[in-house]
Amino acid sequence: MKYLSIDLETYSPLNLSKTGVYPYATHPDFQILLFGYAIDEQPVQVVDLASGEKLPNEILAALVDPGVVKWAFNASFERICLSAWLLRHHPELLPEGEFLDPSQWRCSMVWAAYLGMPMSLDHVARVLDLPVKKDAAGKKLIKQFCTPAAPNLINKGTYRNLPSSDPEGWKAFKEYNRRDVEVEQTIHAKLARFPVPEAEWEAYSLDQRINDAGINLDATLVDAAVALDEKHRQTTLARAQELTGLENPNSPIQLKDWLANNGCPLVSLTKTEVATALEDASGVVKEILHLRGDLAKSSVKKYHAMLNVSGADGRARGLLQFYGAGRTGRFAGRLVQVQNLPRNYLPDLDQARTLVKDGNLEAVELLYDSVPDTLSQLIRTAFIPTSGNRFIIADYSAIEARVIAWLAGEKSTLKAFHDGNDLYCETASRMFKVPVEKHGANSELRQKGKIAVLACGYGGSVGALKAMGALRMGLAEDELKPIVDAWRAANPQIVWLWQEVENAAIQAITTRQPVRLRNLTFTLESGILFITLPSGRRLAYVKPGLGQNRFGGTSITYWGITTGRKWGRLETYGGKLVENIVQAIARDLLVTGMKNVAESGHQIVMHVHDEIVIDEPLDSALTVKDVCQLMSRLPGWAKGLPLSADGYECGYYRKD
């Protein structure tokens, strides 16, 4: 046996989409109902565990045999479910508190994502036009057998539909389970010519270990924040009802009518429109708009998400999705969505945390402008080290700006990084041809340099500056185009890189021959445009073609996930391809940094964008400087890239 393909059908009373697989699988009522498997390329077998059948000893042994590779679509689900099941039914095979070794597992969902395809078994089967497709009727069967049910005559007043309640439906469910494994086998055969590099499976294993470790939650803070928010919302709603006379002033329809009748008509109640209306509002209307802002804040919902995902040991697991951000391979957040946590600006976080943990709503209302905003800013601080530990947090400095300058050979920017200069001052100085110092000469130009760096690197123009908040920062409309022009004039190699990349992609598509662009390679293979990165990893664009853009020029098209999460044709261009490449290289550098830290024996418990969080014993000799050096150690393929990291220690997660 070389490999084992697995698909499980399971039951748990918990909502998987809210709790994630870790609490789902450790619930006392969790069960594996069906175990579908195939040894190598042999026919699929289905073991009906729910009806009393037993797994063959050969299969049990294979689950812990490092010589057998275990395959599944979204393999983390099967691995965690089987870990919980083995601990309960075969504790001799897996030590208490352990998970099945992720290095022995491979995920065909990750494989599909690596090749630019959807992260759904059904959608992948459709994209590949497989002769064996996932059974769409399975959704009904999953709801019937895998989730709690309302008591009825068929299930004899219980909260579950057992196999005996619908023998024909159960028979169909077993065939559905068999079909899923067959679909996975067919996907393997179809994608075999495009294997995922071994280095990526090593990164996947590290990702799974980080998810398995989880991160500690401050249960007292989370519980108190939820209670405080509910109490404040009740008070706020009561005040809004008193002022408006409305039954539900949180209803957009009711509130918009009231505002219109009181001289403040609004098209919508979006955050931006309410903020604009507040500039001219006064009296009761102004107070109502402020109350609306409080009631509309949704970021405190993350506290509820934390309650859902917290395990028996108080740790949140499964917060990161490997290859979750599409073709670049960047990580995505799940459940609590750590990739979009609110920033914290409060100067007295310790005091605010203490007041909230004490449930002192009166003091919070007295000392802070907004209770929801204060709770929102404290969300990060709910992540805390293990008892007796500290957090060491480190992140890369301006990593995308460094990577794009390195790719393009923008010597002046590279020199600024090597010399340790402030990039935004350096850029502004080149844009406006005067010395710019952060706290000195022409310091007011630094902000223009900063927004230009952030908005213009991938071909962005006035629209990109506006999206970055240029007007809110005080820049005038008539300043924007000159800023774009000045940035492009100061960064000619980056501007040329956009065109070079676009030309290389078009040439590879039209000639079907490999095109080398310094440390990038463009190839067309079996209907997929691949861009090979310096690391050796490849970006994939399915069914590439050429079209005409809205300006009448040649555009590059490919198939991917469109608006509405459908599979369809997309359009791209040089600047966008450069963005993909730069973000992918930045991701490869992050993975290298994480490997360096993990191989040095330190536990990463979370990472967000270009930042890692290490849970380190208080008496450890590891310093912030040590971590930054590990993260900044260049891989062989990145020679000359001016990589730099900075960090700090803290007793709870926060922005320094």
pLDDT of 159 reads 81
Bridge partners (DSSP) listed for residue 394: 612, 647
Q: Assess whether 260 and 370 both reside in one domain.
A: yes
Is residue 544 in a domain? Answer: no
Single out the residue in 490, 522, 549 at which a domain terminates. 490
247, 149: one domain: no
pLDDT value of residue 193:
94
pLDDT, position 606: 98
Name the DSSP letter for residue 195: P
Coil vs helix vs strand at 154: coil
pLDDT at 565: 80
Token pair 């330190």 in the structure block, residue = 602
Number of domains in the chain: 4
Q: Are residues 45 and 131 in the same domain?
A: yes
Per-residue pLDDT at 156? 63
pTM: 0.92
Phi, psi angle pair for 100, to nearest 5°: -55, 140
Average pLDDT for runs of 10 along the chain of length 656: 97 97 97 98 97 97 98 98 97 94 97 94 88 75 92 70 93 95 93 96 98 98 96 91 90 91 89 86 90 80 96 97 91 95 92 97 93 94 98 95 95 88 85 86 84 87 85 81 88 95 97 97 96 98 90 88 87 95 98 98 97 98 98 96 96 93
According to the model, what pLDDT value does residue 157 have? 61
Q: Is residue 72 part of a domain?
A: yes
CATH at 595:
3.30.70.370
Domain membership flag for residue 314: yes
273 and 159 co-located in one domain: no
Show the tokens assigned to 467. 């999206």
Please report, for the domain that includes residue 37, its CATH number. Answer: 3.30.420.10
Residue with tokens 């393997």: 188
Same domain, 474 and 374: no
Euclidean distance between CA atoms 633 and 613, whole angstroms: 18
Residue ranges making up the domain that contains 603: 389-397+583-650
The span from the CA of 495 to the CA of 490, in Å, is 10
Instruction: Please measure the distance between the N-terminal and C-terminal CA atoms of the chain and give it in whole angstroms.
Output: 51
Give yes or no: residues 45 and 154 share one domain: yes
Cβ(567)–Cβ(118) below 8 Å: yes
* Residue 274, token pair as written in the block: 């309410």
User: Does residue 152 fall inside a structural domain?
Assistant: yes
* pLDDT at residue 153, rounded to an integer: 61
25 found inside a domain: yes
Of 145, 167, 196, at which residue does a domain stop?
196
Give the list of residues 6+ apart from residue 135 with CB closer than 8 angstroms, or none. 175, 176, 179, 180
Whole-angstrom distance, CA of residue 107 vs CA of residue 645 = 31
In a domain, 336, yes or no: yes
Same domain, 226 and 172: no
In this structure, are 159 and 298 located in the same domain? no
Q: Distance between CA atoms of 291 and 69, rounded to whole angstroms?
A: 56
Cβ 210 vs Cβ 604: under 8 Å: yes
Residues 112 and 151 in one domain: yes
Q: Is residue 223 part of a domain?
A: yes
Residue where a domain terminates, one of 490, 521, 538: 490
Based on its alpha-carbon atoms, the radius of gyration of the chain, rounded to whole angstroms, reads 27
* 372 plus 436 within the same structural domain: no
Residue 520 in domain:
no
Cα dihedral 409→412→417→418 (10° resolution): 90
Say if residue 181 is in the same domain as residue 235.
no
Please give the single-letter amino acid code of residue 187. Answer: I
Residue 250, CA distances (Å) to 256, 269, 295 in order: 10, 10, 7
DSSP for residue 250 = T
φ, ψ for residue 511, nearest 5 deg: -95, -20
Instruction: Examine the domain organization and report whether 164 and 42 are in the same domain.
Output: yes
- Cα 273 to Cα 289: distance, rounded to the nearest angstrom: 10
Instruction: Give start and end residues of each alpha helix (H) in 458-573.
Output: 462-467, 477-490, 492-511
Residues 6+ apart with CB under 8 A from 621: none
Helices (H) and strands (E) in the chain — how many of each?
26, 20
Distance from C-alpha of 3 to C-alpha of 40, rounded to nearest angstrom: 5
Q: Of 406, 330, 417, nearest to 637 (Cα)?
A: 406
pLDDT at 155: 64
